[in-house]
Amino acid sequence: MYYRMTKNDLSRLSDHGQKRFKSHQLVVVANIVGQTVKRDLEQPDSDFFSEEEIMEITSALSEVSIPYKLLTSEMDFTKQIMSGQINVDQDVVWNLTRQGGNGNKKSVITSLADFNQVSYIGSSVEAMNICRDKHTFEQLIKPLEINIPTYTITDPANFQGTQQIIFKNASGSASIGLDDSERPVLTANEVNDKLRDSMGTKIAERLIQGFEVEVPVLKCHVGENKQFRALSPVGLSFNEQYYFKNSVLSETRSNNYDYEFYSLFKMLCGRINVDAELIECRLINRACQVATFLNLSNYARIDFRVTTDGQLYCFDIATTPYVIQHSSPVWAVSQMKEQQCNLIAAILGTTD
């Protein structure tokens, strides 16, 4: 059984993180604009942290007295591993990097940590790559009875009539490559033709009218076991839109943080014939089930479209979600009267 994370759960994790790092050092590895040399010159700056964003994180670590050192590239980490400057027994790695190709983006640091038996925060290379491939993770979570509105070359469209369709990159963040233009209304044959033309680089999703929701999850110590618990589901809005009929969170809007957060539960409570408590409970349970089913570690974020009749559509999984000030995990803990530093300490507290 899965549960909502309480303020006490968060406090216990935060305390555990602060106690653990009295005897361990945190090695934060992050790509930073202006400091990290790009391995791919075409990679946009938006894939990296700004100096202000990484300062938010390091300031939060200092606020909860967690010792750390910051490395700004995969190469710096590699050199320190090879020269013995990473202490296998004392150091814990927090991988916040974004570089790499489609098959290994974000996973270079985790691979090196695994190979050298250094403890790290975050999911395994296998789990990260599964979650980056939309078709793969959607096929894997089908036993959880979560609706999958996706068509691919190997799982083609076969609907009658027409549907409004979103074409997305087959791998990577949900917003990459999306603009604010109208979504085409297509027949199944037209969808399949476009998928064949993309040579497997694109997937097609039926546009779902509903609320866009992010559910942050953390792995808690429960007795002798560990289980995921979820923060309250966080809605996304922009241009004063909450219920999206034809809109999506475009790449430009996402990169510019041109969107706001709100409580989905409070929004649904004001609607007639909507069981807000049931929908919130289903979101929390399904998010924790997805994280458990895919063998994720420590913390993650599960993204949904939610209809007013309670249908859930999972379209993205972030295995290392942002925890900067403008992020749904930080917004969610702020509703508990907790700060970003408490959330980060809690994430560190999910380690053994």
Least confident window among 52-61, 165-174, 253-262:
165-174
Residue 154 domain-assigned?
yes
**Same domain as 100, residue 6:** yes
Q: Considering its fold, how many domains does the chain have in total?
A: 2
* The domain boundary residue, chosen from 121, 136, 161: 121
Determine the Cα angle at 59 with ends 21 and 7, to 5°.
Answer: 65
Lookup: tokens for 46: 């938006």
Mean pLDDT of 108-132: 92
Helix/strand/coil (H, E, C) string of 201-265?
Answer: CEEEEECCCEEEEEEEEEEEEECCEEEEEECCCEEEEECCECEECCCCCCHHHHHCCCCEEEEHH
What global pTM score does this model have? 0.93
pLDDT in tens, 317-329: 999 999 999 999 9
Can you give the pLDDT at residue 190? 96
- Tell me what the mean pLDDT of segment 94-118 comes to: 83
Name the β-bridge partners of 202.
169
Note whether 82 and 181 are same-domain residues: no
Is residue 304 assigned to a domain?
no
- Candidates 303, 322, 208, 290; CA nearest to 264 is 303
> Do 64 and 7 belong together in one domain?
yes
**78 and 33 within one domain:** yes
- Looking at residue 314, its pLDDT comes to 92
- One domain, residues 104 and 57: yes
How far, in Å, CA of 271 to CA of 278, rounded?
Answer: 13
- Asked if the model's pLDDT at residue 174 lies above 70, the reply is no
Task: Pick the last residue of a domain from 165, 187, 206.
Answer: 206
Inside any domain, residue 285 = no
3-state secondary structure of 24: coil
DSSP SS3 for 270: coil
Same domain, yes or no: 9 and 90: yes
Same domain for 29 and 85, yes or no, is yes
Instruction: Give the integer Cα–Cα distance in Å for 170 and 180.
Output: 19
Kindly state whether residues 102 and 19 are assigned to the same domain. Answer: yes
Q: How far apart are CA 177 and CA 216, in angstroms?
A: 24
Checking if the pLDDT of 103 tops 60, the result is no
Confidence of residue 97 (pLDDT cuts 50, 70, 90): very high
**Are 7 and 100 in the same domain?**
yes
pLDDT recorded at residue 104 = 60
Per-residue confidence (pLDDT) for residue 164, from 0 to 100: 93
> Which two tokens mark 254?
């996402």
The pLDDT of residue 47 is above 90: no
2 & 96 share domain: yes
Higher pLDDT, 112 or 1: 112
In this prediction, residue 40 has a pLDDT band, given cuts at 50, 70 and 90, of confident
Q: For residue 23, is it within any domain?
A: yes
Q: What pLDDT shows up at residue 100?
A: 66
**229: left (phi > 0), else alpha (psi -120 to 50), else beta?**
beta
Measured torsion, CA atoms of residues 273, 274, 278, 284, in degrees rounded to the nearest 10 = 170
* Helices and strands per DSSP (H, E), number in the chain: 12, 16
Same domain, 45 and 153: no
Statement to judge: residues 158 and 103 lie in one domain: no
For residue 262, give Cα distances in angstroms to 94, 232, 246: 28, 10, 20
User: Span 214-229, mean pLDDT?
Assistant: 90
Domain contains 216: no
Structural domain boundaries enclosing 201 = 148-206
pLDDT attached to residue 325 = 97
Domain boundary among 106, 121, 136: 121
Whether 229 is in a domain gets the answer no
User: What CATH number corresponds to the domain at position 33?
Assistant: 3.40.50
Mean predicted confidence (pLDDT) in 233-242: 94
Mean pLDDT on 128-137: 88
284-318 per-position pLDDT tens digit? 999 999 999 999 999 999 999 999 888 999 989 99
Residue 275, domain member (yes or no):
no
Instruction: List the beta strands (DSSP E) in 273-328.
Output: 299-306, 312-318
Sequence-ordered strand ranges (E) for 81-130: 91-96, 119-121
Degrees, nearest 5: CA angle 158-159-162: 130
HEC sequence for 138-164 = HHHCHHHCCECCEECCCCCCCCCCEEE
Q: Looking at residue 264, what is its pLDDT? A: 96
Whether residue 172 lies inside any domain: the answer is yes
